[in-house]
Amino acid sequence: MSRTPLTRAVLDEQRHALGLPPHGGTDEPAELRRSALEAVLAAYDAGAEPNRPVLKGAVRHLLDRLAALAPGRSVEVRVPPYAAVQCIAGPHHTRGTPPNVVEMDPPTWIALATGRLAWDDAVKKGRVRASGPRADLSGHLPLPPAD
C-alpha cells in the first residue's frame, strides 16, 4: 500500500496527466485536497484511475465538508481505507461500534457527494452499507459546491 502523501508535486503530476493546469493555490492540506477533487472527477470522466494520494485527498475533502455542513456525532461515515468522520446532530456514542454507521468505497462516496449518484440508487445497488436509524444521508447529499 502506498504511503505517498498528497503534495503539490503529486497533485500536479496527476493534474498534468489529465490535461489540467497545475494547482494554483497554496500548499495548505485543505487547499490541496480541494484541488484533488477536481483531478479525481477529471480522471473518472476520462475513464482513468486517480492515483491513491489524490483520491485520498478528494475523499478527505468531501468528508470534511460533510462534517462541517452537518456537525454532530450521531453518525459515523467511513470510506476505507482513507478516512471516517462523525457528523449529524443527535445522540452520540462514546465507546465501541457506533449505532449509526455508513460505509462505502471511495468512488461511491465521491459520486454521492458530488451528485453523480443518488443515495437511493447507491443503497439499492449495495454500494452503501448503512446501519442504524439515523444512517440515511439522503438529506445531506449531494454536498453543495464549495465556496
pLDDT per residue as tens digits for the range 105-119 = 999 999 999 999 999
Query: Cell numbers of 140, please?
Result: 445531506
Q: Does a structural domain hold residue 144?
A: no
Q: Which residue has the cell 455542513?
A: 69
- Within a domain: residue 18? yes
pLDDT of residue 47: 97
Place of cell 489524490: 54
- pLDDT for res 1: 42
Q: pLDDT below 70 — which residues of the chain?
A: 1-2, 92-97, 147
The answer as to whether 68 is a domain residue is: yes
Number of folded domains in the chain? 1
Give the CATH number for residue 70: 3.30.1050.40
For the question of whether the overall pTM of this predicted structure is more than 0.75, the answer is yes
Any domain includes 78: yes
Task: Give me the pLDDT at residue 94, please.
Answer: 66
Compute the 3-state secondary structure of the chain and give helix, strand, coil in percent, each to the nearest 5.
40, 10, 50
Residue 137 placed within a domain: no
Per-residue DSSP letters for 60-111?
HHHHHHHHHHS-SSSEEEEETTTEEEEESSS---SSSS-SSEEEE-HHHHHH
Specify the pLDDT at position 93. 64
* Residue 2 counted as domain residue: no
Residue 55, domain extent: 8-131
Q: Please report whether residue 141 resides in a domain.
A: no
